[in-house]
Amino acid sequence: MSIEVKVPTLGESVSEATVGQWLKKPGEAVALDEPIVSLETDKVAVDVPAPASGVMGNYVAQEGDTVSVGALLAMIEDGVAAAGGAAPALRTEAPVAPASDTIAPKADAAAPKGDDAAVLSPAVRRAVLEHGIDPSTVKGTGKDGRLTKEDVLAAAQAKQAAPAAPAATAAAPIPAAAPTAPGRNEERVKMTRLRQTIAKRLKSAQETAALLTTFNDVDMTAVMEARAKYKDVFEKKHGVKLGLMSFFAKASVLALKDIPAVNAQIQGEEIVYFDYVDISVAVSAPNGLVVPVVRDVDKLSFADIEKAIANYGKAARDGTLTMADMAGGTFTISNGGVFGGLMSTPIINPPQSAVLGLHRIEDRPVVRNGEIVIRPMMYIALSYDHRLIDGREAVTALKTIKEAIEDPTRLLIDL
């Protein structure tokens, strides 16, 4: 008997996805609930689990195909894995030759076999296939010696650094639009669905909203001194590092409560005001920028905020963010400073009306009490939809954030 593998429900308002990568090849054994294919939606990558144990059959949808919810992806055939986890050959009436063309030779060589497949997480398996790494040749640093994604990436970097074989130079020439001189190659890669969606949303924000950005600078002395003083005891007590984001999240709450329009949205001909603060935190993931939401920030402690952000960051790197993690949000914080950015004009995350941009901290000369002193300074930016937020409100909100960061006591007494 054959079992159908179909596109699952992907979340509210999401009706289709793109087949990103097959994690199982035809003929391989699959276990119940084992991820067999990764789908790319407009927001996140979703691994589809096997609905039953058996042997992977032929693919119905190929990598890069657009599929709708409920569409047939593949079949799982009856069969029992042989000793050591190897899959028996498929029956002759189900030839697999056509499907084998959909798997790159690199992925074939790197596909985990036997017991290795059972212990690899979906993120690790995806990294193994993507980089062409044989997991049996990599020493795992995870629990019980298991491979982590970082182990695979380190092995891939070492592999790239090794001298290439002469034959490898001639193989698989990079496609180019026109003949190029030696050493001037071009590579064409199809945009992922996530990247296409990011492009559409950002362009739509520019075309729809009346975008404007206001700037200020912040003296980070007080926050940096507080972190230096309490970071060890904070981490010992809460099991997470005390970062900057919790300070700026709490400062943003003060601003959004004082200036409700910055925490509001335009929906049709109505303005919706929220009495809660759900902050979207921009996180860089392998496939592009994602914005998971930390909910009810106005009710969370510093430790709760840091834990939520840390968990989302790990999930983004591992490719395990869900649609629910991304849904909603009333305000966004984007920290370009981690990449060294000095100043930027961030774009709002529709349908939100404002986004706070953070930047790098650097020592600069400033005047204090009539004297020139050196202080750790950061430029901050608030981009906002001028259709809803007036300039006075935007400047006041950003000034509130600045004052709270420069005097963190304000965060404790709600001032």
Q: What is the pLDDT of residue 389?
A: 95
Considering only residues 249 and 106, tell me which one the structure prediction assigns the higher pLDDT.
249
* Residues noted as catalytic: 386, 390
Query: Is the pTM higher than 0.85?
Result: no
Compute CA distances 135 → 114, 129, 152, 212, 310, whole Å.
11, 10, 8, 50, 27
Q: What is the pLDDT of residue 318?
A: 81
Considering only residues 210 and 196, tell me which one the structure prediction assigns the higher pLDDT.
210
Query: Where is mean pLDDT largest: 154-168, 178-192, 223-237?
Result: 223-237
Furthest C-alpha separation in the chain = 88
Q: At residue 63, does pLDDT exceed 80?
A: yes
Q: How many residues does the chain have?
A: 415
Confidence class of residue 169 from pLDDT cuts 50, 70 and 90? very low
Question: What is the Cα Rg of the chain in Å?
Answer: 25
Mean pLDDT value across residues 38-63: 82
Contact 64, 190 (CB under 8 A): yes
Specify the residue for token string 């001037």: 184
Q: What is the pLDDT of residue 308?
A: 94
What is the C-alpha separation between 391 and 283, in angstroms, rounded? 28
Mean pLDDT value across residues 300-325: 88
Mean pLDDT value across residues 70-85: 68
Q: What is the pLDDT of residue 364?
A: 96
pLDDT tens by residue, 124-166: 766 777 777 777 788 777 666 777 777 777 887 777 766 544 4
Q: At residue 120, does pLDDT exceed 70?
A: no
Confidence class of residue 67 from pLDDT cuts 50, 70 and 90? confident
Contact 141, 153 (CB under 8 A): no
pLDDT tens by residue, 234-276: 999 999 999 999 999 999 999 999 999 999 999 988 999 999 9
What is the C-alpha separation between 77 and 1, in angstroms, rounded? 6
Mean pLDDT value across residues 392-413: 93
Give me the torsion for CA of 224, 227, 228, 229, rounded to 10°: 120
Question: According to CATH, where is 3.30.559.10 located in the chain?
Answer: 198-413
Mean pLDDT value across residues 308-324: 84
What is the C-alpha separation between 124 and 75, in angstroms, rounded? 24
From the candidate CATH numbers 3.20.20.140, 3.10.560.10, 3.30.559.10, 3.40.50.2300, the one assigned to the domain spanning 198-413: 3.30.559.10
What is the C-alpha separation between 299 and 405, in angstroms, rounded? 19
Please state, for a pLDDT cut of 70, what percent of the chain lies above it: 79
Mean pLDDT value across residues 28-38: 86
Name the CATH architecture for the domain at 3-167. Beta Barrel (2.40)
Question: According to CATH, where is 2.40.50.100 located in the chain?
Answer: 3-167
Considering only residues 321 and 108, tell me which one the structure prediction assigns the higher pLDDT.
321
Contact 379, 215 (CB under 8 A): yes
- Tell me whether strands 283-285 and 288-290 are parallel, antiparallel or unpaired: antiparallel
Contact 380, 350 (CB under 8 A): no
Confidence class of residue 109 from pLDDT cuts 50, 70 and 90? very low
Mean pLDDT for the chain? 80
